[in-house]
Chain A
Amino acid sequence: MGAPRKLAGALLRAVLRLAPPESRDWALAMLRELDFIAGEWAALLWAIGSTAAILRHAASGWRIWLRGKSNKEAGMNSTGKKALGVGLGMLSALALVGCAFAVLRIAGIVFPALEHSPWAYWLAVLAIPEAVFVIATVMLWRKRGPVAAGILATGLVMALHVAVHLTLHW
């Protein structure tokens, strides 16, 4: 027995040991066929192809398992999931506002004239983020309702904050 065939056998035996139960019969079937393959290199190619096939089979099993688990979790704890979605939406919105402030600061350093320009300030920290919030809310409303609600809530709080600020100072 040559080295390629030995390697092929070792590879398929390792696959057989590591394969999940639902793929094990198939891995064993591929290993048994190895004895009937005439060429040394053909045996190795057979083993490599078989390994790929088992990996794909096992991966599809894991995908089904994960999907089933997430559906189960959704059924058991949908309130928690919704709260998590809203929190994620709010965090994303706040992160965007933070980024807008950071961009404004950097722009102020690079272009000092912008630092004293009120329109740049309102554009960067209010107009653009609010526009992004509205677009994101519309786009996410159907598929990721809680996240969209979180973004919308943050946008409304920000708009309210600006309205109060303007009322008090102007």
Chain B
Amino acid sequence: MKFRLSPQTLLVLEAFLEQAEEWKYGYDLSRVTGLKSGTLYPILMRLAGHKLLETEWEAASEPGRPPRHMYRFTPEGLRFARANVSAHANGALDQVALGLIPPSLVQG
């Protein structure tokens, strides 16, 4: 699959991999990843466009409260994220071992 994996996209994939079966909200993802809406939403749009992410409107839990848009991985998206996030982590560890990047960048 042709999909550009920027560091920001990897952050989003990592956030989705945390309790991957749960639905997630845009603002929560923004807080977890530290990405602004102008960066986060284009990534969500691309992931959804490639059918890696499914989207749904939340059923209104309380009257008067607007429904929110929710996102979670499709099975294909989950496979894609696991493969790419771990590959990136391995690559990053190799780079740390070679002294190309500082260890602080791959911790956490």
Contact = CB atoms under 8 A, between A and B. Distances in A.
Contact of B68 (A26, A29, A48, A50): A29
A14 interface: no
B34 interface: no
A57 B69 CA distance: 17
B11 to A, nearest CB: 16
A95 B45 CA distance: 47
A52 interface: yes
Contact of A57 (B27, B39, B42, B66): B42
Interface string B31-68: 00000111111100100000000010000000001111
Nearest to A51: B38
Interface in A46-77: 46-50, 52-54, 56-57
Of listed B26, B40, B65, residue having the most chain A CB within 10 A: B26
- Sorted nearest first, the 4 A-B pairs with minimum C-beta distance are A49-B38, A29-B69, A49-B37, A53-B41
Given A33-B68, A37-B27, A46-B37, 16 more contacts: A28-B69, A29-B26, A29-B68, A33-B26, A36-B27, A36-B68, A45-B37, A46-B30, A47-B37, A49-B38, A49-B41, A53-B40, A53-B41, A53-B45, A57-B41, A57-B45
